[in-house]
Structure 1
Amino acid sequence: MRVGQLAIGAVSLLAWWPLAAQAAGEAGAGHASELIFLAQITVLLVSGRLLGEFMQRLGQPSIMGQLMAGILLGPSVFGALLPNLQHSLFPPRPEQKAMLDAVSQLGILLLLLLTGMETDLALVRRVRHAALSVSVTGVAIPFVLGFALGEFLPASLLPKPDLRLITSLFLGTALSISSVKIVAMVVREMGFLRRKVGQVIVASAIIDDTIGWVIIAITFSLALHGQVDLWSLGQSLVGTALFLVLSFTLGQRLVFLVIRWTNDNLVSEAAVITAILVIMGLMALVTHAIGVHTVLGAFMAGLLVGQSPILTRQIDEQLRGLITALFAPVFFGLAGLSADLTVLRDPHLLLLTVALVAVASLGKFAGAFAGGVLGRLHSREALALACGMNARGSTEVIVATIGLSIGALSQNLFTMIVAMAVITTLAMPPMLRWALARLPLDEAERQRLEREAFEERGFVPNLERLLVTADQTAKGRFASRLAGLIAGARSMPVTVIRLGSGTDAAGTPRTDLPGVVRSTAEAVQARAAEQVGQIAPGLDVLEQSPETPLEDAVAEEARKGYDLLVVGIEPTTGPGGGFNAVVSRVAGSFEGPLAIVAARGTHILRPEEAPLDILVPINGTEISRRGLEVALTLARASGTPVTALHVSSEQGAGKPSRRLNRWAGLRRGDGAVLKEAATLADRYGVALRTMARSGITVGDAVLRQARLGQHTLLVLGVTRRSGEILALGPVADAVLEASDRSVMFLAS
């Protein structure tokens, strides 16, 4: 209760600022006052933040607190108790209201941008059959009921009785859309986001939102023309369809290129955020040009931006912080200000509001439940779906605000819809928590959840972008091949810094290193897509030819944000042992993890075709686990065998008394290391052979097993030592010096 009391006190205190300014002649009659505008923004931010905090502590969405802050500050409470003071803070003059409205309208676009960015299209694809079934019935039934209700509303509730069709369409849309943000928040809070039912709920809400914004865009076109003009309607439908098709094809590629170019070439602060906002503005202008509402363009911009692999978590958090801290409280607060709940003192309007809530809730509940049953979900799962899909929240308020702004909804009808949004949103979280708590977890789903949680903590699943530094030799081509296997497994964009010119002394074209990466990765993607019956996404590969010293070129490129540097340079070793000076300088210019590749044996002769047979030493540490992850990724991508070798440290430095001890015997705890490796291999879907050795040094054990097992690639997770010269420890030194098999050192 302290938060609520503090919010009321802060609002009362801040409300006196514009009154004092007005009394002092700061705001002239008929002119917009910047001081009042700043006071309005400040009051909405403070009250929205505090009441949002209060609602979150009650287990409710924070945006409900922001909406209620506006209701308290509006004619419903503040205006009813202290009308003069309320009018001084929020004067009805059009010039003053226009300033706050401008921020609110921009807030609508930014909220839709954020909603699109939070939309997980991969999630929709995974559960598309059940989600589509739930969404279609969950939208159709309440839409029909809402449209029918609009057709029977009293004419006194319509802004323009002759445009009842437009009002009915808006009402049907308002009743049929669920709020993705509210649904996802509760599902995530309950830990059900990875459960099948949680994924279906969120995916269905995503489809709801997409359908809803398309309907709103078309309805907006009808409202602009004031009547059902079949020619204009056809233009809007065709334009919307063409816009969606181009967005998901050409637009997705263009958005990725713009974000990558901005990230890689502009050095000013927050350049990527500016690019995202420009993309949103341009797409909103395009939708306006084809005669539909700008919200569709903003939502689609968010969808495309959210799919970009260059979008880092830091950039996402910066943009999200700007929207949630400034624009969301202002928009929802202004929506609450526009709602006058005092009109519900009229028994007829109160009865109509109750009917509206009942129609909205029962229609959505029945539609979602029927869709769940048709989607072959269990009855308990269908019940949870029906409970979860009933939240309107932010989406409803945005739809109602648009309807009010274009004259499709009257002030009373707007207030009724806002009241319905508040009631359904407040009721949804406890209902969904109750339903989800009663859902059993079957064995298959439990294993899938464990596998996904296991992979999420790993090294390879968190890689987003690869940098390759390679020359034209066999080592460079082999390193490019391994980089392609890793990139193809995760569909990561790759940049190749190629050493040397593209032609030799005779003018003959040299090996196309980006082509090696691309062809290898696309082969991996094609196999994976064929297994699930989808189309391979393709891979973005760039090539850089350094004009500065190699280490400077790597350092400059690394600033653009890469998670792993793959190095393939001849020679790898220096004349006096250890790593070559060039390799050492390149490694020193990159602060992140390294993968240094040395092609040997059969890979010197056929670096792009020779088969892989992988050996990876493990010891239970995080460093060796990373090496094992990369080895499993390579094995899965290439369909090749992999063996994990654990060497016990017992007697590792001494001379064993019996030869048998060199290759037999496990210490207590060694079995756990091998079991963890086998579990990780199961998560990756790779058959792993495990071996244990004792009484021998790790370096000797690895070299000997490589020969006995006829392995062609050794993958070693090693620790990067500090210093100007690249040093990876004694085991790496021994393998680098004596191995006649190809080696990849994964250094962290």
Structure 2
Amino acid sequence: MELILQVLALEPTSQIFAKEPIVPFAILLVVILVVPIVFERLQLPGLVGLLVSGVVLGPYGWNLLNTESAMMPVLSNIGLVYLMFVAGLEIDIQQFRRTKNQSLGFGSLSFLVPLVVGTFIGRFFDFEWNSSILIGSLFASHTLLAYPILSRLGVVNNEAISVSIGASIVTDLAALLVLAICVAIKDGSFSFGRLITLITLLTLYSIVVLVGFDWAGKQFFRRSGDEEGNQFLFVLLCVFLATVGAQLIGVEKIVGAFLAGLAVNETVGEGPVKEKVVFVGSVLFIPIFFVNVGLLVNVPAFLQSIDTLELTFFIIIGLVASKFIAAYLVKLIYRYNWQETLTMWSLSVPQVGATLGATIMGYQAKLLDDRILSSVIVLMLITSTLGLFITSRVAVGLTNSGMKDIGTVNLTYQNQEENDSSYSIVVPVHNPQTQQHLIEMAALLARQSHGRIIPLAIATAFAHMDAPQLDASVQRSHRLLAKATALSKVLGVEAEPLLRIDDAFAQGISRASREQKASLIIMGWGKRTGFKARLFGNVIDNVLWASHCPVAVTRLVESPKKFQRILVPLENLMTPSLQPVKFAQILADANQAQVTVLNVCERRTSSSKIAWRRSQLSLLISRLALQNPPEIQIIPHENTAQAILQAARLYDLVVLPFIRNRTVPGGLAISDVTTQLAKQLTCSIVMLGEPQRTQDIIVQTEVTSSTTAAMSEGIV
């Protein structure tokens, strides 16, 4: 004991931590779990908290974490690769194809103008040509941090925004190409032949990755069926094979990771496998990368160096100005209005993914020094905040030229369902505590629609059909179905109980619903518990992804027969989902209740624009041809979630559309309004998820020119 005390007395705590890799990893997990939550409570991005944590815990702070340890470089490199992979995975290839000419134009200008400005700044501060060109390429790329804002405003289909999204492919690829060339010739032995060889190898490598991985992915996904675990591993294999291939031809690994994201983009699609892939990176590896970047920042030296402060100032001003010049030139060429031009500019300002990744690569290759690293981190923080702020202000009044008319699509889909022989509602029964309220809600809807209820019980299959466990599961299912049938009879609705033996609950529910031609699935609330549930999804997640019809996920605090006031918030009017309105009105007609459709607009919205929004909302709802049209409320408020929470205090039920928003790389930027409401609402909730087929039709259906013109007149 005395010897141990002597050792502890002689050896600093930081050195003990450095020798034991488990301790730094435990610290990292605490930081990743706690810090983003704290910073988001302070209305700051979570990634800012991770960077600050790296600075505080790093060698220039408390020295609890060290970049020299064996663990940090490995985890950080995986995080960097994952960050670039997710950046490629999140790009909408279909949207790029629709506006490829304009996207190529804006992407080229948004790359070339910042490249020239950045190179000039590098030369002005005495960097050599190779490093100066690399600094210029750092200006060129941009990260679409504001996409969730655009999605909430319902303007993602505006041509200017589609062009900005497509341009990110051009700028990111061009910036990574410049990085590859600069790093390849950093030793000074530059020659034209070497450049041609590198470009040839890079071209062949890109073709192999983009074409070969895309083909292999589609073949594997087609043959693997619903085996999400194997599909998840295949995607990871593609990422790391691409990074190894990039290094074999002398190119930085982040180039391969980005190309791998583009290659498997369409194969993965917007399904559950993509959610799992992004989840693993955003929850572990990407946060570790941001913490590691913070470890490299020497804040005291940065603040004491006037030269570094001047360089940072010029870099920030140069980037913001060059991006504005590029957007202005695009305005002149393609004749966009000022509001669209400013939105394009604000979207191209944030620098996170490719910029930070290329900076770290240049720093590790000794092309960039501590001054550039510190300046780029400050640039990232300032441009991210500035870009989000400007986008939230200038994108409010955009119209969806070439907009998709979701209202018409929903009605078409609904009419197809209503033409079926009967309106069928599948109610999976598993939890006796929630079963009664689910059957009551289904009975109200079925009685009003002259339909039927299908109570569904899933018995887990075993290898042997005479297994005692299967017998017990079947007996329990029969008891649940008998109870559901008796309750339906009391409520005066026809019930057709169904028992299904299947390997998994989610697949059993989805398949049985399709076989029965279900019009709606009603499920009880499911909680995510444990790492496995979050990684591979719970039953509700998988049903939402796979179902062919709408899915109502309910949390009922009282009997549905008592609902008298129902609230349906619509976040935007450009792409509203009308299914929740129809669902709420059918339920209200059964109870002689009142439905209120609520839309929240910006607090500074004028009275004339509020009147226009009310008329447009009335026009959209009129397409449903409801016998008792709902009441319409327009509330000006600076916070959509808070406005809905305040209004919901007077209602018995809130019906929310369940929309899976596009994920920002890293998953650390902006939370979803529906998620906030689900956590804080105290009344009964129904989250209505639409089938993937409906969402795909929405993406492919154009709005009529008269509707677009009417909306343009109303907004402008």
Deviation at 1:57, TM superposition (A): 4.7
Looking at structure 2, the residues matched to 287 and 458 of structure 1 have their Cα atoms a distance apart, in angstroms, of 52
Any idea what SS the aligned residue of 1:291 has?
coil
The corresponding residue for 1:63 is: 47
1:227 aligns with 2:189: yes
Deviation at 1:413, TM superposition (A): 2.0
| Amino acid aligned to 1:593 | R
Question: Residues 65 and 295 of structure 2 are in contact (CA less than 8 Å); yes or no, is this contact kept in structure 1?
Answer: no
1:333 to 279, 287, 291: 291
The corresponding residue for 1:730 is: none
| Amino acid aligned to 1:216 | L
Looking at structure 2, the residues matched to 167 and 425 of structure 1 have their Cα atoms a distance apart, in angstroms, of 24
2:136 to 159, 162, 172: 172
| Amino acid aligned to 1:367 | A
The corresponding residue for 1:593 is: 514
The corresponding residue for 1:321 is: 279
The corresponding residue for 2:169 is: 206
1:153 aligns with 2:74: no
| Amino acid aligned to 2:293 | A
Any idea what SS the aligned residue of 2:343 has?
helix
1:196 aligns with 2:159: yes
Any idea what SS the aligned residue of 2:155 has?
coil
Looking at structure 2, the residues matched to 455 and 21 of structure 1 have their Cα atoms a distance apart, in angstroms, of 76
| Amino acid aligned to 2:147 | A
Looking at structure 2, the residues matched to 375 and 21 of structure 1 have their Cα atoms a distance apart, in angstroms, of 72
The corresponding residue for 1:405 is: 364
Any idea what SS the aligned residue of 1:307 has?
helix
The corresponding residue for 2:93 is: 121
Deviation at 1:124, TM superposition (A): 0.8
The corresponding residue for 2:105 is: 133
Deviation at 1:362, TM superposition (A): 0.7
The corresponding residue for 1:246 is: 208
CA deviations on 1:300-357 (whole Å, 9 max, x unpaired) are: 11122221168732x2222222111111111011111111122232222212211111
**Which structure is higher in RCO with an 8 Å CA cutoff and minimum separation 6?**
2
The corresponding residue for 2:244 is: 285
Looking at structure 1, the residues matched to 109 and 86 of structure 2 have their Cα atoms a distance apart, in angstroms, of 26
The corresponding residue for 2:338 is: 379
Cα gap change, 1:183 to 1:594, in 2 (>3 Å): same
| Amino acid aligned to 1:288 | Q
Question: Residues 209 and 259 of structure 2 are in contact (CA less than 8 Å); yes or no, is this contact kept in structure 1?
Answer: yes
CA deviations on 1:235-272 (whole Å, 9 max, x unpaired) are: 111122222233333331122223444456x7xx8222
Question: Residues 151 and 168 of structure 1 are in contact (CA less than 8 Å); yes or no, is this contact kept in structure 2?
Answer: yes
Gaps in structure 2 of 5+ consecutive residues: 418-499, 503-507, 518-546, 551-621, 627-716
Percent sequence identity over matched residues?
Answer: 18
Deviation at 1:34, TM superposition (A): 5.9
The corresponding residue for 1:43 is: 27
| Amino acid aligned to 2:338 | S
Cα gap change, 1:326 to 1:410, in 2 (>3 Å): same
Looking at structure 2, the residues matched to 323 and 365 of structure 1 have their Cα atoms a distance apart, in angstroms, of 32
Listed as ranges, the matches of 1:619-634 within 5 Å are none
| Amino acid aligned to 1:90 | L
Any idea what SS the aligned residue of 2:170 has?
helix
Cα gap change, 1:674 to 1:349, in 2 (>3 Å): closer
1:352 to 305, 311, 316: 311
Cα gap change, 1:379 to 1:249, in 2 (>3 Å): same
The corresponding residue for 1:107 is: 79
Cα gap change, 1:233 to 1:429, in 2 (>3 Å): same
Deviation at 1:28, TM superposition (A): 11
Any idea what SS the aligned residue of 2:368 has?
coil
Question: Residues 41 and 330 of structure 1 are in contact (CA less than 8 Å); yes or no, is this contact kept in structure 2?
Answer: no
Cα gap change, 1:447 to 1:402, in 2 (>3 Å): closer
Any idea what SS the aligned residue of 2:76 has?
helix
Cα gap change, 1:592 to 1:70, in 2 (>3 Å): same
Question: Residues 44 and 70 of structure 1 are in contact (CA less than 8 Å); yes or no, is this contact kept in structure 2?
Answer: no
CA deviations on 1:39-65 (whole Å, 9 max, x unpaired) are: 333333433444433444565543233
Any idea what SS the aligned residue of 2:243 has?
helix
Cα gap change, 1:457 to 1:421, in 2 (>3 Å): farther
| Amino acid aligned to 2:97 | R
| Amino acid aligned to 2:289 | F
Gaps in structure 1 of 5+ consecutive residues: 1-18, 79-85, 159-163, 461-583, 597-622, 627-671, 677-748
Question: Residues 84 and 354 of structure 2 are in contact (CA less than 8 Å); yes or no, is this contact kept in structure 1?
Answer: no
CA deviations on 1:92-123 (whole Å, 9 max, x unpaired) are: 7x4x2x32011101111111122222111001
Looking at structure 2, the residues matched to 245 and 376 of structure 1 have their Cα atoms a distance apart, in angstroms, of 35
Looking at structure 2, the residues matched to 257 and 624 of structure 1 have their Cα atoms a distance apart, in angstroms, of 23
Question: Residues 179 and 392 of structure 1 are in contact (CA less than 8 Å); yes or no, is this contact kept in structure 2?
Answer: yes
Any idea what SS the aligned residue of 1:593 has?
helix
Question: Residues 52 and 66 of structure 1 are in contact (CA less than 8 Å); yes or no, is this contact kept in structure 2?
Answer: yes
Question: Residues 17 and 24 of structure 2 are in contact (CA less than 8 Å); yes or no, is this contact kept in structure 1?
Answer: no
Question: Residues 213 and 238 of structure 2 are in contact (CA less than 8 Å); yes or no, is this contact kept in structure 1?
Answer: no
Any idea what SS the aligned residue of 2:251 has?
coil
| Amino acid aligned to 2:122 | G
1:270 aligns with 2:234: no
Cα gap change, 1:132 to 1:56, in 2 (>3 Å): farther
Looking at structure 1, the residues matched to 194 and 294 of structure 2 have their Cα atoms a distance apart, in angstroms, of 34
The corresponding residue for 1:517 is: none
Aligned CA RMSD, in angstroms, stands at 3.9
Deviation at 1:430, TM superposition (A): 0.8
Deviation at 1:204, TM superposition (A): 2.1
The corresponding residue for 2:605 is: none
Deviation at 1:370, TM superposition (A): 1.7
Question: Residues 82 and 257 of structure 2 are in contact (CA less than 8 Å); yes or no, is this contact kept in structure 1?
Answer: yes
Looking at structure 2, the residues matched to 118 and 50 of structure 1 have their Cα atoms a distance apart, in angstroms, of 26
CA deviations on 1:514-567 (whole Å, 9 max, x unpaired) are: xxxxxxxxxxxxxxxxxxxxxxxxxxxxxxxxxxxxxxxxxxxxxxxxxxxxxx
Cα gap change, 1:48 to 1:169, in 2 (>3 Å): farther
Listed as ranges, the matches of 1:716-735 within 5 Å are none
Cα gap change, 1:141 to 1:673, in 2 (>3 Å): closer
Looking at structure 2, the residues matched to 262 and 21 of structure 1 have their Cα atoms a distance apart, in angstroms, of 56
Question: Residues 305 and 311 of structure 1 are in contact (CA less than 8 Å); yes or no, is this contact kept in structure 2?
Answer: no
Cα gap change, 1:195 to 1:370, in 2 (>3 Å): same
| Amino acid aligned to 2:165 | V
Cα gap change, 1:171 to 1:186, in 2 (>3 Å): farther
Cα gap change, 1:404 to 1:453, in 2 (>3 Å): farther
Cα gap change, 1:396 to 1:40, in 2 (>3 Å): farther
Cα gap change, 1:233 to 1:329, in 2 (>3 Å): same
Looking at structure 1, the residues matched to 392 and 319 of structure 2 have their Cα atoms a distance apart, in angstroms, of 20
1:215 to 162, 178, 182: 178
Cα gap change, 1:448 to 1:334, in 2 (>3 Å): same
1:258 aligns with 2:220: yes
Number of positions where the alignment pairs a residue of Structure 1 with one of Structure 2: 436
Deviation at 1:419, TM superposition (A): 1.4
Deviation at 1:383, TM superposition (A): 1.3
Question: Residues 40 and 46 of structure 2 are in contact (CA less than 8 Å); yes or no, is this contact kept in structure 1?
Answer: yes
Cα gap change, 1:190 to 1:71, in 2 (>3 Å): farther
2:262 to 303, 306, 313: 303
Looking at structure 1, the residues matched to 6 and 408 of structure 2 have their Cα atoms a distance apart, in angstroms, of 62
